[in-house]
Amino acid sequence: MPTILLVDNEPDILAAISMALEWQGYRVFLSEDGKTALNKAGRMMPDLIVTDCTMPGMDGIELCRHLKLYPALSAIPVIMVSAHTQPHRIPALWNAFLLKPIDLDALESTVGSLLLSRPSRETLRPVGSDRAMSRWQPVSSVLIS
């Protein structure tokens, strides 16, 4: 069962999207801010992340930048969600963009296509303990900016 990490500072939105995705058979975890989401992503290695763009503290764009710093997290597809038009997109920070209010059919379709196009989890897991350490070493932020 694929796991999805939902990130939004609005509890009602988290509840609505969570119910829709759980109804489709996904295992869903919730986070109310980018910093907590980054920690959860490192611990649970979700198959997909759906994040709001505008949040206090670490917003969705900054969360995506931090995810790309770690090779172990950089392959996780991200769907960016916002009530505003798509912000200037820095190449490869997120895989899809949806406007709020979210069309649940479009969300389910996007989630399904991103999960199908993602390599299997086994190919993303560390093979040996020496290689696992390098997967968690951050990449220079100069490469992302």
110 vs 132: CA distance, rounded Å? 30
pLDDT category at 9 given cuts 50, 70, 90 is: very high
Q: What is the mean pLDDT of residues 62-81?
A: 94
pLDDT per position as a tens digit, 16-65: 999 999 999 999 999 999 999 999 999 999 999 999 999 999 999 999 99
Q: What is the mean pLDDT of residues 88-99?
A: 81
Q: Which domains does the chain have, with CATH numbers?
A: 3-143 (3.40.50.2300)
Residue 5 β-bridge partners: 29, 49
144 vs 122: CA distance, rounded Å? 26
Reported pTM: 0.81
Where do the DSSP E strands lie in 32-76?
48-52
